[in-house]
Structure 1
Amino acid sequence: YSIEPGGYTVDTLNFTMNQPGWYKGEVSINDHPITFDNSYFLSFKVEANNRVLAINEGKSNRFLNTLYRNDDFFILDNQRVNQLDYASLNQYDIIILNSLQSIPSGLASALREYMENGGTIAMYPNMNAEKESYNNFLTSVNATQLGSTEERNQILSSINMKQGIFKDVFEDIPDNIALPNVKSRFRFSGGTRTTKETILSFQDESAFLNGFNYKNGDLFLFASPLDLEYTDLPSHALFVPMMYKMALNSQKVGKLSYTLGSNEMVEVQNRLTSSESVYRIKSGDKEMIPPQKARGAKVMLDLDKQIDKAGIYELTLPETDYNRLVALNYDRRESDLAALSATELNDRFQGDNIGVISSVNQNLSDVVQGLNRGVVLWKLCIIFVLVFIGAEILLLRLWP
């Protein structure tokens, strides 16, 4: 297909990556006679697996075990809350809090840091939970709190299909679809400063599942435990795609590319082993050490000061196995060929002692030199001198 000047088109290319790892991409167009800036570079990583941690009060949840252990892509770890290694939380893509009696202050602090570093949490509360510990944590991450309990049969009535965990999951949902039934649940309260997004709700518009953003992470808060005693959600057809998509979305894709000259910082994992360790970036035989600054679990790299050519670069950390690709592109605004007319320029800079050169058919250097010299009068002076000398000679010869 072709694109009209000044127009655009949206297209989709489907492809499958059979192996995990980093991949290079380049999108190019044939736009003769414009032969520059016709390529767009990108890089992305295909993960080998998705690590899921279920934190349990006692025994593990059979629905989670069945769900994630039937697919080799997911690696599910079950740990008891009183035997948990807080330092290991950042190894997981998603953490599921399964019906905990309370959230200890140490765990709350570790979960908050986990979310700040981009982690995802799914919380199924215990109906007999110590609400104060729950609400202290929820308030600290700007989420709604657990309010009063309600015990009566209610059927969910609405799904937010625009939310990420349901987007593109179903081609079409019938109007009379049977949604999960809830026998006992918490009502949510407070949260006026939250970034709440209601995902599943009842007829009275109260929420069964809310989503929240906190710093770089996400929290999904359910109103009931993951147990058939309280809701039939675990046995409903909605449960599997919802939890799969929740886990898959927890793997942050990151930026596919960066723009040169935009002062964008490249964010990478802090894998520095000592004060002497530095990230290096290279392309072919050329290797550089970009300015970098560690910020907790992340390191910010400034590539603008050393790289001025678009392309795909390799980022490494010597003495470790860390390796990733970074795609850099020129600012597309630099290739915008639109220009103001001479009339528009004169109108814009009127009264600013600025002139507009409109002699497009003349050599630019000659025009600029003429402007620098101003009005040239020496040729006229010589002509007048010659005329007067000729006139004087005639007068001397012919005057009696």
Structure 2
Amino acid sequence: MEFVNPFMLYGFAALLIPVLIHLFNFRRHKLLYFSNISLLKNLQEQTSRTNKLLHLLVLLCRLLVIAALVMAFARPFLPDENRLKPAKRNLVMVYVDNSLSMQARSEKSTLLDEAKLKATEIAASFNKEDKYIILTNDLNPAHERPMSGDEFIAEINKLNLSHFSRKLSQILGRTNTMRHEGYSQKVVFVLSDFQASTADLGKVVSDTASHYFFVPLTAVKSNNVYVDSCWFESPLHHPGELAEMKARIVNDGSEEIKNLTVRLTVQDEQKAIANVDIAPASSAEVSLGFDISEVGPAAGTFEITDYPVIFDDKLYFSFTVDQAIRVLEIYDSEANPWLKTLLEGDDQIAYESKQLKRLDFQGLKAYKLIILSGLETISGGLSQALTDFSRAGGSLVLVPSPAKVDMTVNALLSQYGMELAEKADTARSRVFSLLTEHPVFKGVFEKIPENADLPNVRKHYSIRNLKTADVQQLITMTNGSAFLAEGSNEAGKAYVFASALLPSWSDFYKNNLFVPVIYRLIFLSANEETLYHYLGTDAQVQIRTKAGDNEQVLHIRELNNDFDLIPLQNSYLGETSLTLNEAVEKPGFYKVTQENEPLAFLAMNDNREESRLNTLSRSQLEEQMKKAGIAKASLVERADIDQGRAFENLSSGTQLWKWFVVLSLIFLLIEGLLLRFWRK
């Protein structure tokens, strides 16, 4: 035990006063005469013993009252090894967690309002000479400078919820880099709900020069229901067709949700509505459909109603409706007649065939799928253009030449982990099996009968797996060789047939398998686009620009607002990478324009990490603090937070003076009761 005012202990000398009063009886006695004092003598002896005991008890009470008062004025406390040392100039850093999860309610207000109140209490517990720095999820530079107590409180009262989610290790890492020369010590307060998804205290690199105080704030009810994600059942969107979408709704609470209404809105028009039941701590999927009416970029939302945490009740998404999928066939002397017959005239496919010697390499980026139809050689320029096309998201299909397999062809295929044998195998074979779980065949066949009419193969090139990339045999022949293989790596994706599309090589061109395989390869080339992005998480987004306009500046404009941003952009092969970082600060729809012509919508959403409201318990916080090796750290008690005592004992540990005041009152009460009721 230590004392704030140890000189007050001299007050124990006052204990002599009641002792002296007790030893010297200053009461005057009156002389009375009695003829017979025997009875009086016995009564006097009995009364004397009783009075002596009473006087001793009263004396003891008075001594205890004085001792308790002396202790109270001496301000005793139980020392805390992590307590602050009294200092004239402290640099106080206060992190107010203003993430969206702080929208949850405590008993009296939102957690953010409670955090702001506690921040003002912190300022009241320090001296006027101390300076303050505010840390929030916005990482506002204006807050990260030393300010006076009054300025600190004014800035705290202005704080609002932030749409950015931060890891606690990131916030405390910033405090480590802040210099505190000219200050006696650095004090860091963390006011947060300590969400499990963001409170990574175990990864914090502690600063030995800092004292840390962690103040957990608890919501009354942590239940939350939110729209987690959405997706299309098919990556293809064409006008006049019915599109089917699915959304995942998550119930993060402990109570079952009944008949929750889910609304789908596209282009500001409600398209569908559904009700869903969700068990506690689980999710449910809901499927809704709508008609696609026009070509171009489109935007929509999935929305529910949930209180009090509402930031995640709406999920924004965007997509692009294409008129048709652009497919290019490149040939040496003549286009393949069966491909031409199959694809020409299809409204969903914009098929073109071009002779190699008339090919414009720069125009390849406009297509989704390129078919290399019987090319004997592939020049270095074409190989590089095809590699760039593939890296930009395009798909390649190679049908080998019936004449030979040139080394330039294998040079291209080697990027995808494959190569063809130089000479054809003339041993007859037959298609034996399909990799039915692969996306090429997914949903195409319910079941393949044992006696199915599968293609006969008269000649083929062996497809070798170089094991330098992910290679799969999609169609296998009876001899174990691949008839169709897929190779993919970071450079993209390529499909290779083992036989030329000629009657002398196989009857695949007229088999029932031909149409679904070619169409599935085309449809899969229409890569499923990113429907939405998260604020603060997706630093870059990819936009497909108009052909030949890579040098044009792109703008990001918020719909129905004056917000206009020219982001850092890097164009390559018809794709432009836009660096957003945290320039976009609010969820909603943003239009990407090129020369005032809309290219796409960006759907920005709040980070769903904030939707999971489960928080770390006190024992988990202590465990993480220990794991991080934070030596000078204190975890403020919940009871102290509720009763407004959270920051009373920063410099002196646990205060005891109030208890001694209570004890003095108790002893005074006992003395009064003794004097009043003892004789009765």
Say if 1:183 and 1:231, in contact at 8 Å, map to a contact too. Answer: yes
Q: Is the 8 A contact 1:292 1:299 kept in 2?
A: no
- C-alpha separation between the residues in 1 aligned to 2:664 and 2:281? 60
Contact 1:97 1:122 in 2 (8 A): yes
Determine helix, strand or coil for the equivalent of 1:279.
Answer: strand
* Whole-angstrom CA distance in 1 between matches of 2:376 and 2:663: 108
Establish whether residue 340 from structure 1 lines up as the match of residue 616 from structure 2: yes
Give the 3 Å change call, closer, same or farther, for CA 6–268 of structure 1 in structure 2.
same
In the TM superposition, 1:101-116 aligns within 5 A as: 101-116=376-391
Match of 1:398 in 2: none
Query: 1:121 Cα deviation (Å)?
Result: 1.2
- Higher normalized helix content (fraction of residues): 2
With the length of structure 2 as denominator, give the TM-score of the two structures.
Answer: 0.53
SS at 2:278's partner residue?
Answer: coil
CA separation in 2, counterparts of 1:74 and 1:203?
33
Amino acid at match of 1:346: E
Deviations along 1:290-311, whole A, 9 cap, x unmatched? 4323142232222232122222
Distance 1:175 1:308, change over 3 A: farther
1:143 matched residue in structure 2: 418
- Structure 2 residue corresponding to 1:20, chosen from 295, 300, 304: 295
The aligned residue for residue 289 of structure 1 is 565
Instruction: Report whether the alignment pairs 1:299 with 2:299.
Output: no
Shift of residue 136, structure 1, vs aligned partner: 2.0
**Deviation at residue 273 of structure 1 after TM alignment:** 4.8
Q: For residues 154 and 105 of structure 1, do their structure 2 counterparts lie closer, same or farther at Cα, with a shift above 3 Å needed?
A: same
Kept in 2, the 8 Å contact 1:143–1:212? The answer is yes
Q: Distance between the aligned counterparts of 1:129 and 1:322, measured in 2? A: 47
Distance of 2:661 and 2:348 partners within structure 1: 92
Q: TM-score, normalised by structure 1?
A: 0.86
TM-aligned CA deviation for residue 265 of structure 1: 0.8
In structure 1, the residue corresponding to 2:460 is in which secondary structure?
Answer: strand
Please list, as runs of the form range in 1=range in 2, the aligned pairs for 1:37-76 lying within 5 A after superposition.
37-76=312-351
Q: Residue 186 of structure 1 aligns to a residue in which SS?
A: coil
Which whole-Å deviations, capped at 9, do the CAs of 1:320-371 have from their partners, x for residues lacking one?
Answer: x342101111111112111222333334435845443443596364433455
* Match of residue 592 from structure 2: 315
Cα offset, 1:250, TM superposition: 1.2
Partner of 2:260: none
Find the counterpart in structure 1 of residue 31 from structure 2: none
Q: Deviations over 1:249-276 (max 9, x none)?
A: 2122321111112143101235585867
How does 1:348-359 map onto structure 2 within 5 Å? Answer: 348-350=624-626, 352-359=631-638
Contact 2:555 2:567 in 1 (8 A): no
| Segment of structure 1 superposing worse, 340-349 or 326-335 | 340-349
Give the share of equivalent positions with the same residue, in percent.
Answer: 25
Show CA shifts across 1:79-121 (max 9, x none).
1112212121112111111112222232222212211222111
1:299 partner amino acid: T
Q: Which position in structure 1 is the counterpart of 2:159?
A: none
Alignment of 1:164-179 (within 5 A): 164-179=439-454
What is aligned with 2:501? 226
Extract unaligned runs of 5+ from structure 1: 389-400
How do 1:153-168 and structure 2 match up within 5 A?
Answer: 153-168=428-443
Indicate conservation of the 8 Å contact 1:116/1:214, yes or no. Answer: no
Name the residue aligned to 1:94.
Answer: 369
* 1:374 CA drift (Å): 4.4
- Deviating more after overlay: 188-197 vs 219-228: 188-197
> How far did residue 122 of structure 1 move?
0.9
Deviations 1:113-146 (CA, angstroms, capped at 9, x unpaired): 2112221111110121242221122224443333
**2:396 paired with 1:121:** yes
Distance between the aligned counterparts of 2:280 and 2:650, measured in 1?
A: 36
Aligned match for 1:277, one of 541, 553, 571: 553
Corresponding residue pairs, total: 388
Per the alignment, residue 646 of structure 2 pairs with 367
Q: Which amino acid aligns with 1:76?
A: Y
Aligned-pair distance for 1:156? Answer: 0.9
Distance between the aligned counterparts of 1:18 and 1:228, measured in 2? 42
Max Rg structure: 2
C-alpha separation in 2, matches of 1:227 and 1:27: 50
* Deviation readout 1:1-20 (Å, 9 max, x if unpaired): 32122212234333332422
Amino acid at match of 1:150: D
Residue 182 (structure 1) shift: 0.8
Does residue 244 of the first structure (1) align with residue 523 of the second (2)?
Answer: no
SS at 1:299 equivalent: strand
> 1:263, 1:364 → 2: CA distance?
42
- Kindly provide the amino acid, as one letter, of the partner of residue 367 in structure 1: A
Give unpaired runs (5+ residues) of structure 2. Answer: 1-275, 669-680
- Relative to structure 2, which stretch is displaced further, 19-28 or 269-278? 269-278
2:474 is equivalent to residue 195 of structure 1: no
Determine if contact 2:326/2:368 at 8 Å carries over to the other structure: yes
Question: Cα–Cα, structure 1 residues 379 and 230, in superposed 2: closer, same or farther, change >3 Å?
Answer: closer
Q: Residue 96 of structure 1: SS of its match in structure 2?
A: strand
**What is the deviation of 1:221?**
0.5
Greater Cα offset, 170-179 or 309-318: 170-179
- 8 Å CA contact retained: 1:210, 1:221: yes
Partner Cα separation in structure 1 for residue 550 and residue 471 of structure 2: 40
In the aligned structure 2, how far is the partner of 1:372 from the partner of 1:204?
A: 83
Q: Distance in 2 between matches of 1:370 and 1:78?
A: 81
Q: Which residue of 1 aligns with 2:607?
A: 331
CA, structure 1 residues 219+275, in 2 after alignment: closer, same or farther (shift >3 Å)?
closer
Q: Secondary structure at the match of 2:428?
A: strand
- 8 Å Cα contact 2:342-2:515 kept in structure 1: yes
The change in CA–CA distance for 1:245 and 1:372 in structure 2 (over 3 A counts) is farther
Following TM superposition, by how much is the alpha carbon of 1:223 offset from its aligned partner in structure 2, in angstroms?
A: 0.4
Letter matched to residue 303 of structure 2: S
Displacement of 1:232: 1.0
Name which structure has the greater RCO, CA cutoff 8 Å, separation 6+. Answer: 2
Distance 1:364 1:231, change over 3 A: farther
Query: Residues 422 and 461 of structure 2 are in contact (CA less than 8 Å); yes or no, is this contact kept in structure 1?
Result: yes
Match in the other structure for 1:235: 510
**Matched-pair contact (CA < 8 Å) for 1:147–1:188:** no
Do the aligned partners of residues 174 and 18 (structure 1) sit closer, same or farther apart at CA in structure 2, a change above 3 Å counting?
farther
Match for residue 212 of structure 1?
487
For 1:235 and 1:345, the matched residues in 2 are separated by 68
